[in-house]
């Protein structure tokens, strides 16, 4: 492994750790000596990488640091292209357009050889399923980002309708259906709502009382327990 590749790996490892991580842990993950690790940290800091910390206390990479596009590997480009192409075929028009725009922005700043790899990428996405939403998923995504309550009319599998007020915190994308994951005030529990069974969406300005990250974490625990 070249030194430049090693420095890139170090940046990627630091990105995976949200809290300070010791130099020995980093050195162990990279398979290098602690002295080499300290030299690499100093090199990255000298090149402008916002790495905070010191020997004995641990290191953390401040959010927002961007890697130059030439650092993409072949497989990373394939992942970006495949993911963007899949999203671009979804019925959520705003998200679809955003995926196409993001791919164009990435292509615009790539070096010529990598741009050619992107344009010639042969990982293809098949035709999308006939998913039909009765609501604007863009409003759902905005409510999740802003932690706002959503009201809507929901029809179950048997056609029975009920009014719901929920705290949305996740949106699942499946081949033929989209699912809103939320805390339901009427049921006082986590519920999954198929977007094709929702109508009369009311995107409120009411902030729900918990953080979406906390709801997501709790839901995962509950979901694991229920699936046993």
| Domain identity same for 14 and 83 | no
What is the tally of structural domains in the chain?
A: 3
Q: What is the pLDDT of residues 66-98, one digit of tens each?
A: 655 445 677 777 888 888 888 888 778 888 888
Residue 144 is encoded by which pair of tokens? Answer: 């999740």
CATH number at residue 151: 2.30.30
| Domain identity same for 223 and 181 | yes
| Domain identity same for 50 and 101 | no
Q: Is residue 124 part of a domain?
A: no
Residue 204 domain boundaries: 137-227
Q: What is the pLDDT of residues 150-166, one digit of tens each?
A: 999 999 989 999 999 99
Lowest mean pLDDT among 4-18, 172-186, 211-225: 4-18
| CB of 188 closer than 8 Å to CB of 179 | no
| Domain identity same for 153 and 213 | yes
Q: What is the pLDDT of residues 29-72, one digit of tens each?
A: 889 999 999 999 998 888 788 889 877 788 998 876 665 544 56
| Domain identity same for 158 and 184 | yes
SS3 state at 194: strand
| Domain identity same for 46 and 90 | no
Task: Label residue 69 exposed, middle or buried (CB < 10 Å: 0-12, 13-18, 19+).
Answer: middle
pTM score of the predicted model: 0.62
| Domain identity same for 141 and 212 | yes
> Which strands, in side-by-side order, build the sheet including 189-194?
189-194, 178-184, 161-173, 148-155, 198-207
CATH number at residue 7: 1.10.10.10
């Amino acid at each position: 492994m070249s030194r430049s590749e090693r420095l890139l790996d170090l940046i990627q490892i630091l990105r995976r750790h949200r809290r300070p991580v010791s130099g020995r842990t980093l050195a162990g993950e990279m398979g290098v000596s602690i002295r080499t690790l300290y030299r690499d940290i100093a090199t990255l800091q000298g090149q402008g990488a916002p790495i905070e910390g010191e020997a004995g206390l641990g290191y953390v990479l401040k959010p927002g640091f961007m890697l130059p596009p030439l650092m993409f590997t072949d497989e990373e480009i394939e992942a970006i292209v495949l993911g963007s192409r899949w999203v671009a075929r979804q019925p959520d028009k705003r998200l679809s357009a955003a995926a196409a725009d993001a791919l164009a922005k990435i292509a615009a700043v790539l070096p010529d050889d990598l741009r050619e790899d992107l344009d010639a990428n042969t990982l293809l996405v098949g035709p999308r399923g006939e998913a039909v939403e009765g609501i604007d998923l863009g409003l759902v995504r905005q409510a999740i980002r802003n932690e706002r309550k959503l009201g809507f009319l929901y029809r179950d599998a048997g056609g029975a309708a009920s009014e719901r007020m929920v705290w949305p915190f996740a949106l699942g994308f499946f081949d033929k259906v989209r699912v809103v994951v939320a805390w339901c005030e009427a049921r006082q529990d986590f519920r999954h709502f198929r977007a094709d069974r929702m109508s009369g969406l009311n995107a409120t300005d009411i902030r729900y009382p918990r953080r979406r990250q906390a709801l997501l974490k709790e839901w995962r625990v509950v979901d694991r327990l229920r699936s046993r």
